[in-house]
Structure 1
Amino acid sequence: MALLPESWPQAGDMQRHPLDNLPEFVAASRLTIASARRELVIQAPDLDPAVLSDAGICAALQAFLLQSRHARIRLLLNSADNTHGSHRFITLARRLPSYVQLLRAQPEDQAPACWLLADQRTLVWRPQFRRYTAGYACADAALPARTLLRDFNERWERGQPEPQLRQLHL
């Protein structure tokens, strides 16, 4: 697959661009984050350090959050068990807690897929969280985005704060 053009995502581009390896997922995620204006929604079974602790991804997330006081990130995860040491996303979430919300899904609400949705439209999706194959990026994925977001919001309402990510103030 050819990497996505720097001009991606473009309004009206409903084509699914296949993503088959980690660098392609990271590049598509950076471009998606850079295109976002109001909200990023992330479904991730855990805080995948290969993507969510990537320096470029976290820099893009920080730039997104600082561009507007209305910018928000919501992340729903299954577990934070594999989060050890310093994780850039957790550091960012702790620095900007009013803009970043993390919740753990209830056991019956946990999902194996991983996806990033920008402004209810631009989608980066992969079916199996630990495999960087068979995924895609779509700039104008309004219909699948609507379905994913509806399901996400229902599970979000039942989600709980992740105790392992609590910051202790001493």
Structure 2
Amino acid sequence: MSDEHTPDGEELDLIKFESPGRFTLHNPESELPTPATWEPAPFVLGVEQALQRFSLADQARAHALALMQQASLTLCLYSPDLEPWLYHHSSIQQACTQFLLGNRNRRLRILLRDSNRAVRDGHRLIALSRKLSSYVQIRRCHPNYPAPESAFLLADDQGLLMRPEPDQFAGYAKYQDPAHVRQLRRLFDQTWDTSITDPDLRSFLL
């Protein structure tokens, strides 16, 4: 009787030993925390004059990364919700970190229409603002004041990335357009002056 039970017991032990745990350790999920590095668009801030139109997400990402990597003074980001498909990435976080640490006078200002999604899901730029709170400011538009409908990024006094319809990928980038940047900077500053510190963002940062 013991000989008959022993093989059965061994088989059951082997089946349990080879069940899902071993396979999940080697599934693709383990690679997700390290997404592929983005490549910046091949244009020089303050030099390239042609309008660069784009319609794909990857193109928007390349222009945003190029502008952030080349900025040397200020970055102003206006976004409906810190669009994770565009700004929640290690390449963007690294570019902003290098920008801010390159000079103590550099600043990144982020203005949001709604912070709920970024607070709920987490965001790399919010995490960066926690680490470099003296250099990064994040505020939310005041609900009682008008706010821009478009989404845009301003790099120094030269470059911009504009997406007129924030729910779409399409837009354009300019690497040398001081007049347009000044116009958008005035709009950004006006909205910033009436913006509020979001208590949800503050509690998240704590």
Q: TM-score, normalised by structure 1?
A: 0.90
Tell me the equivalent position of 1:163.
Answer: 199
SS of structure 2 residue aligned to 1:159: coil
SS of structure 2 residue aligned to 1:109: coil
- Structure with higher Rg: it is 2
Question: Of the candidates 128, 138, 143, which is equivalent to residue 165 of structure 2?
Answer: 128
2:123 paired with 1:87: yes
Shift of 1:168: 6.2
- Equivalent residue letter for 2:159: T
Distance 2:115 2:41 in 1: 33
- Equivalent residue letter for 1:40: L
Indicate conservation of the 8 Å contact 2:41/2:65, yes or no.
Answer: no
**CA offset digits 1:129-169 (Å, max 9, x no partner):** 12101x11111111111111111111111111112111368
**CA offset digits 1:22-70 (Å, max 9, x no partner):** 1111110111011100100111111111112111111111111111111
Q: TM-score, normalised by structure 2?
A: 0.75
Percent identical pairs in the alignment equals 29
Shift of 1:13: 2.5
Shift of 1:74: 0.7
Indicate conservation of the 8 Å contact 1:9/1:138, yes or no.
Answer: no
If each structure's helix is expressed as a fraction of its own residues, which one has the higher value? 2
SS of structure 2 residue aligned to 1:161: coil
Shift of 1:109: 2.4
Question: Of the candidates 103, 115, 119, which is equivalent to residue 156 of structure 2?
Answer: 119
RMSD: 1.9
Distance 1:89 1:168 in 2: 12
**CA offset digits 1:96-152 (Å, max 9, x no partner):** 01000111111232222111101021111110112101x111111111111111111
Task: Determine which structure has greater relative contact order: mean sequence separation of CA pairs < 8 Å that are 6+ residues apart, divided by chain length.
Answer: 1
Tell me the equivalent position of 1:53.
Answer: 88
**Pair 1:130–1:69, CA change in 2 (3 A):** same
2:117 paired with 1:65: no
2:141 paired with 1:109: no
**Which sections of structure 1, spanning at least 5 residues, go unmatched?**
none
**Pair 1:5–1:168, CA change in 2 (3 A):** closer
Indicate conservation of the 8 Å contact 1:9/1:122, yes or no.
Answer: no
